[in-house]
Structure 1
Amino acid sequence: MTILGTATNPAFLIIRRDNIGDLVCTTPLLHALRRQLPTARIDCLVTRYNRAVLNGNPDIDALHAYTKAKHRDQGESALAIHWQRLRMVMDLRQRHFDWILLPGGASASALRFARWIGGDQVLIRDDQDKVAGEHEVEQCCHLLTRLGLEYEAPPTRVYPSADEADAAEETLVARLGTRPKHLIGLHISARKPTQRWPAEAFAELARALTGPDTAFILLWAPGAEDNAKHPGDDTKARKILELTAGLPIVPMATTRLEELVAALSLCDTVICGDGGAMHLSAGLNKPIVCLFGQSTAARWHPWGPRHEVLQPQSRNVRDVSVAAVAAAYRRLMP
């Protein structure tokens, strides 16, 4: 397949409806498409859950988002969600796309969207893209080669809202009284149990890294741990704050993804488990100490910035020592 014979200014729709990290790992493909085809039209179809990843991204022309039924807010009807989705599909059908790209592979839902929208050509990531390398970014970007373009895999890119970043900065300075020279982000939430480092370990690490003109932002997903739909780490955060009383730590529970991106943008270094926050930090070009449990580090490590991956043989981050994390952080320091 090549783009030869298509319109002079081809129109692309990239469908990526999965997790935050997956969408972050698609941004290099978007940047490469824009660089190599500067007059092309590049639209993206994502979910309301992950759309903040692409907010402000200069490589795309339009961002279309829908709500998965499982992500609907309290009081939001499933019927209304399906009606909105139908209207969005009908609108996209009118736009006419030369190419629909599925960099996440042939999931049933992505294929349905591609069929409903009806582009001239559909290009699906599959096993042949593994030749580019093990990483998610490399395999996404191999679609460039299959389009007849130059293969490249630039860094991931995420763009914080200036207003959100200013609000986070105001919170930080109000709490600390000044902007510290070294600001370390500690993101304590993780979807998978094997990625969850204990509260006691985070507290001990904060005590070990405290020094002149150094402070911390404590970041977590708010809510109760036993919430089946949206489990949170309020209890874990409270425990860390109790164990670190007197240290310069600013708590920031991030209800919205935009708030998390803004808070991470303030950090000089981020320490976190493998997950969405890690990939957002990479998209913001932050040095990262990342704790890996059951995930495959070769496929999902941060793409772009300096980083240290710590993955114990047990594949459970509880077995990563505080000393190992502190040493990894110091190796990343300039």
Structure 2
Amino acid sequence: MKILVIRRDNIGDLVCSTPLIRALRQQLPDANIQALVTHYNAEVLARNPDLDVVYSYQKAKHRGPGEGRFGIYWDRLKTILALRQAHFDWVLLPGGAQASSLRFARMIAPQRVLVRDDQDKVAGPHEVEQCCHLLVRMGLSYAAPAPVVVPDPQLSAVFHQQCVAHLGFVPTRLIGVHISARKVSQRWPAERFAGFIRHVTQSPGTACLLFWAPGSADDPKHPGDDEKAAAVMAATGSAPVVPLPTQGLDKLIAGLSLCHSVLCADGGAMHLAAALGKPMVCLFGDSDPERWGPWAVPHRIAQSPQRHVEDLALDAILSRWTALASDSHG
């Protein structure tokens, strides 16, 4: 059997589709399972043991300097032709009936196309549950295992060496603190991140890895958090903190893989950390934790009645962090 999974949206959405891919591999060990994703998020599936092939294509809006639309669309056409010649039995669209995904499916021309829709809500409210309900519609058993993301081991080793060199000691516990968030409602102030870091690094041997999207906040195309990161670093004083701007998704995954636990907002980094098995406290703004919370990993959700992360006090986050630590140790 040959199966193609198409998921062309955000990082977190793709991470939430990896349990479906894992369940397919577990139930169909001899199947040829492939995926089609975008260049932007293809690193999520790099080294995934459940996939035979990963195809990716460039979205025109993500093209870099010197990349023309004609070349992008020509490469995309060649990818579609290669997939069409593979003669898939199934094409699965766990992201639902997105126009572009449906267009890809029609051009690839498999025997069957299975699109996630309202009938999959019977499995539960979470994105993972609804993605995995496609198994039932294929005639397989329902399962919703943990998500899977595999870091680049060489890059992880390099980052570990850099951490030790920066700190001047080998930390017994590394806590990841990710300060960037795409949605305004998910952004926590710099001074509270700094307060969190000062508190948790009071424990001997503990240090923090500070993650953020690099770039200036006023960059119209790719706004980043360089200024916010500088403010956090300045406010942490002598606390042991290693700055780690993540210019690429491979670097974010490798850095998160070194952490014992994580503080972050709802978003791609949160789902990556969950797929790496990291306990975490998650800052939720105007999004639904029942649908988008971390899957299959110990966690605590912090969300204000106003559904804005800026309303969350530092003490509230520290109390959840203490509860999470108690669970992890117990």
Both structures adopt the same fold (TM-score exceeding 0.5): yes
TM-score calculated relative to the size of structure 1: 0.96
The 1-side partners of 2:323 and 2:199 are apart by 15
RMSD across aligned positions (CA): 0.7
The AA in structure 1 aligned to 2:43 is A
The 2-side partners of 1:250 and 1:320 are apart by 25
Name which of 301, 311, 317 aligns with 2:309.
317
Task: Give the 3-state SS of the residue equivalent to 1:50 in structure 2.
Answer: helix
Is the deviation greater in 172-181 or in 152-161? 172-181
* Counterpart check, 1:139 vs 2:134: no
The 1-side partners of 2:52 and 2:256 are apart by 25
The AA in structure 1 aligned to 2:301 is V
Aligned pairs for 1:27-38 (under 5 A) are: 27-38=18-29
Name which of 218, 224, 227 aligns with 1:232.
224
Give, in angstroms, the shift of residue 199 of structure 1: 0.4
Give 2:158's aligned residue.
167
Aligned pairs for 1:26-105 (under 5 A) are: 26-105=17-96
Give, in angstroms, the shift of residue 106 of structure 1: 0.4
The 1-side partners of 2:235 and 2:323 are apart by 26
Give, in angstroms, the shift of residue 329 of structure 1: 1.2
* Counterpart check, 1:326 vs 2:318: yes
The 1-side partners of 2:120 and 2:254 are apart by 33
* Counterpart check, 1:185 vs 2:182: no
The 2-side partners of 1:119 and 1:178 are apart by 55
* Counterpart check, 1:287 vs 2:263: no
The 2-side partners of 1:198 and 1:249 are apart by 17
TM-score calculated relative to the size of structure 2: 0.97
Task: Give the 3-state SS of the residue equivalent to 2:48 in structure 1.
Answer: coil
The 2-side partners of 1:74 and 1:198 are apart by 33
| Greater than 4 Å deviation, 4+ residue runs | none
The 2-side partners of 1:288 and 1:232 are apart by 23
The AA in structure 1 aligned to 2:296 is G
Structure 2 residue runs without a partner (length 5+): none
Q: Deviations over 1:40-80 (max 9, x none)?
A: 00000000000010000000000000010111112211111
Name which of 220, 244, 249 aligns with 1:252.
244
The 1-side partners of 2:79 and 2:265 are apart by 35
Task: Give the 3-state SS of the residue equivalent to 1:313 in structure 2.
Answer: coil
Task: Give the 3-state SS of the residue equivalent to 2:233 in structure 1.
Answer: helix
Give, in angstroms, the shift of residue 179 of structure 1: 2.3
Give, in angstroms, the shift of residue 245 of structure 1: 2.4
Q: Give the length in aligned residue pairs.
A: 325
Identity between Structure 1 and Structure 2 (%): 55
* Counterpart check, 1:215 vs 2:183: no
